[in-house]
Structure 1
Amino acid sequence: MIKSMTGYGLAGFEDDNFIVSVEVKTLNSKFLDLSIRSPRQFSEKEFDIRNLVSGVLERGKVNISIDFANKKGAELPVSINEDLFHSFYQKYQSLALHVGADSPDLFKLALQSPSVISNVVEKTSGVEEWEAVKNVLIEALEHCNAFREDEGEVLGRKFKENLGVIRQGLDRIIIEDPIRKSRIRDRIKNNFKEWLEENSFDANRFEQELIYYFEKVDITEEIVRLGTHLDYFEKNLEDEFNQGKKLGFISQEIGREINTIGSKANDASIQKHVIVMKDELEKIKEQALNIL
């Protein structure tokens, strides 16, 4: 069964300690193109997240959004050196008393002193926090994968509809091909009948040239190969393994046979069917790009 690369998954979790929400969105891509938006404390878990994603979704353009809140109370986003703050405050207070100055802004002055407040703390996640996030992430990935499978079923039905139209065109070409050959034969006979009667000509050589010409315009092999390619394409729709690239290659072969039939037949009635078949094939090629 084929699987689409377009998917969406959402999962959440809440208990007395944490609130976790994970959203997964995927589009088509030749490789695994992963983009992660998560709190700083889970930045060191990118490798683990990538392994989890590749194990479920395999490839595609994947956007993951992780929201996490700790109900126990968040730590300050900055680091305050309390000992240094006290030292500055006491020193400023001593100087103010020494000169007899008012000291209403000593707290603010000490807090703004060098190295009292450091940069944002790069907090790392604990085991319990990561386990909560990981479980929700796995659930969201599974929802996304199920979405992809559902989309794949829809695409599979659409592919079979497109193949059905191409088969109808092929069936019509099979019926009209003998008529085309008869028409060519009659045209040649009528055009050259009088000329052959009036001129000395090697009839055997002429017959050989006609056989060579009919081989050039014969489309029997292309018809057989096209039918084989259509059967092979449909067979691969039921395969359990990733079929996106293979279906793309088969589509190219189908297109090659359709184009050859159109050029070799050189017939208006057959060309009408070829145009319809090519239109359906373009739809297949476009959708095949979205198959995993």
Structure 2
Amino acid sequence: MLKSMTGYGRGTGHGAGYTVGVEIRSVNHRFREIAIRGPREWLALEDDLRRAVAREISRGRVDVYISALPDLTAGDPAILDIALARAVKKAGDALAAELGFSDRINLRDILAIPGVVRPQEAAVDPEVARPVVQRALDAALRMLAAARRREGERLEEDARRRFSHLSRLVEEIALLAAEVPKEYRRRLEEKLQEWNLPGFVDAGRIAVEVAMLADRASVEEEIVRLSSHLGQFEAALGSREAVGRRLDFLLQEMFREFNTIGAKAGSAEIALRVVDAKTVLEQLREQVQNVE
């Protein structure tokens, strides 16, 4: 089952009179990169938090945001900025007088001004905060994992549909390639008739020429390798491990084989299918770029 590198999760933890919130956002990235942002006094927790995230995520850019607020229900007071409230009241009354309004600014208006009343900033010992932060992080990681699985299911469904198309194209190319020698013989015999030379070249010589042309245009080895790559690709789609890099590598190898087939095969029908296959490969690569 594929997992996407894109997702979002959030979680909260409560304890010791404060609330911790954790948000995690992940996006696709060639390697694993984890950035953690939180209260400066909690830097001592960063390594543990990074390891916890790394256990769940093997590839992608991950941003972790940690916030801490005191639990006001536990009795922690809010901060009231009296000076700001007085300034707001004075400015409001002056403006009302200047513009000729009879009403004056009231308490509700003052309390609505940002900064007049704000929660007290949390300053918590990191060791006291550790279990609370871990609970919040665990909850956020679970939500993130579920989001990445859902997106991975969508990616896998789309990849399997395109994989089936690609497999059919390989089968068609193999069948067409088997007819190439016959087509060479037919064209050669037509040329001999056109040049009025059918009796001057014996059947053995024609067979040798056809065999040489067919050998140069043979794509049997490329078809065998493509079949192997397709088998590995299908197996990787059903794996529970992180397979994004492996899928990307297999697509590159298949692209190389189709390039060789397009260059060697002297058949317009094969060339058309090679173009179709390259289009499907590009579509698959776009999807695989987001697979963990």
The answer on 1:65 being equivalent to 2:65 is: yes
The question of whether the paired residues in 2 share the 8 Å contact of 1:57 and 1:141 is answered with: no
For residues 124 and 31 of structure 1, the distance between their equivalents in structure 2, rounded to whole angstroms, comes to: 34
Local SS of the residue matching 2:241: coil
* TM-score, L = length of structure 2: 0.75
Cα deviation for residue 15 of structure 1 reads 5.9
Tell me the equivalent position of 1:272.
Answer: 272
Give the corresponding residue for 2:210.
210
In 2, distance between residues paired with 1:34 and 1:128? 24
Does structure 2 conserve the Cα–Cα contact (< 8 Å) formed by 1:40 and 1:123? Answer: no
Q: After TM superposition, list the pairs within 5 Å mapping 1:16-27 onto structure 2.
A: 17-27=17-27
Largest Rg, 1 or 2: 1
Q: Deviations over 1:198-227 (max 9, x none)?
A: 86x797566434322210112223223222
Note the C-alpha offset of 1:53.
0.9
Q: Is the Cα contact below 8 Å between 2:17 and 2:70 reproduced in 1? A: yes
CA distance in 2, matches of 1:7, 1:228: 33
Contact 2:10–2:21, Cα closer than 8 Å, also in 1 = yes
Q: Deviations over 1:55-89 (max 9, x none)?
A: 1112310011111112354899xxxxxxxxxxxxx
* 2:44 corresponding residue in structure 1: 44
Q: Answer yes or no: is 1:141 the counterpart of 2:141.
A: yes
Contact kept? 2:15, 2:132, Cα under 8 Å: no
Q: Which moved more, 1:152-161 or 1:11-20?
A: 11-20
What displacement does 1:184 show? 2.1
Q: CA separation in 2, counterparts of 1:18 and 1:173?
A: 66
The answer to whether the 8 Å contact 1:22/1:137 transfers is yes
Displacement of 1:253: 1.6
Of the structure 1 ranges 223-232 and 22-31, higher mean CA displacement relative to structure 2 is found in 223-232
The answer as to whether partners of 1:33 and 1:62 remain within 8 angstroms in 2 is yes
Q: What stretches of structure 1 of length at least 5 have no aligned partner?
A: 77-121
- Contact 2:36/2:64 (CA < 8 Å) preserved in 1? yes
Equivalent residue letter for 1:63: D
Indicate if the aligned counterparts of 1:19 and 1:69 stay in contact, CA closer than 8 A. yes
Paired residue type of 2:12 = G
Q: CA deviation at 1:128?
A: 2.8
Partner of 2:241: 241
Provide the rounded CA distance (Å) in 2 between the counterparts of 1:64 and 1:74: 28
Q: Which amino acid aligns with 1:291?
A: V
Structure 1 position 22, deviation (Å)? 0.8
What is the CA RMSD across the aligned residues, in angstroms?
Answer: 2.8
1:181 aligns with 2:189: no
Q: In the aligned structure 2, how far is the partner of 1:180 from the partner of 1:203?
A: 18
After superposition, residues 256-267 of structure 1 pair within 5 angstroms as 256-267=256-267
Name the counterpart of 1:10.
Answer: 10
Aligned to 1:89: none
Question: Relative to structure 1, is the Cα distance of residues 267 and 212 closer, same or farther in structure 2, using a 3 angstrom cutoff?
Answer: same
Match in the other structure for 2:54: 54
Q: Does 1:255 align with 2:250?
A: no
Aligned residue runs from structure 1 range 72-221, under 5 A: 73=76, 125-192=125-192, 194=195, 207-221=207-221
CA contact (8 A) 2:14 2:132 kept: no
**Residues 58 and 242 in structure 2, CA contact (< 8 A), matched pair in contact too:** no
1:123 Cα offset (Å):
5.5
Q: CA offsets, 1:265-287, max 9 Å, x none?
A: 23222222211111111111122
Confirm or deny that 1:28 pairs with 2:11: no
* 8 Å Cα contact 2:181-2:210 kept in structure 1: no
Give yes or no for contact 1:20–1:67 (8 Å, CA) kept in 2. yes
CA distance in 2, matches of 1:152, 1:60: 14
For 1:2, what is the secondary structure of its paired residue? coil
2:10 touches 2:24 (CA, 8 Å); kept in 1? yes
Q: Secondary structure at the match of 2:2?
A: coil
Q: C-alpha distance in 1, partners of 2:6/2:27?
A: 5
> Which is worse superposed, 175-184 or 234-243?
175-184
Residue 37 (structure 1) shift: 1.8
Normalization by structure 1: what TM-score? Answer: 0.75
